[in-house]
Amino acid sequence: MTPTNKDISITKNIRMIEWLKCELLAGVSSLYELCFKGAQASQEAISDVLANIIMVAYLMGKRLGLKYYDIDYKLEEKLKLGIIEEHEAEKWFGDLSDLSQYIKKNR
């Protein structure tokens, strides 16, 4: 029995998901390594790793059937909830409000 185009497409999608999972783990590992280095880690390296993690998260969502908008919407909902529930990042630093305002401003 020869594989159909649908079978090949499903296989490619599964392979991509597996690759993205590896990329996500590698990104988190790199971030931990940079944090361990402390002051020696450059802002450029940290921003590069964080940008890659965010990109991989969006691509993973797409492969799992989500639209980029769905992820953005959930992020905004989580920010609102965190602000209301006074998440530590919000209570201590106002980070959630800052991020929420940044997202709204740059749409």
Task: List, for residues 32-86, the tens digit of each pLDDT value.
Answer: 999 998 877 799 999 999 999 999 999 999 999 999 999 999 999 999 999 999 9
pLDDT band at residue 2 using 50, 70 and 90 as cut-offs? low
Alpha carbon of 40 to those of 31, 48, 97, 102: distances in Å?
13, 15, 30, 28
Taking a C-beta distance cutoff of 8 angstroms, is the pair 100, 76 a contact? yes
Pick the residue with more confidence: 41 or 19? 19
pLDDT band at residue 91 using 50, 70 and 90 as cut-offs? very high
What pTM was computed for the model? Answer: 0.87
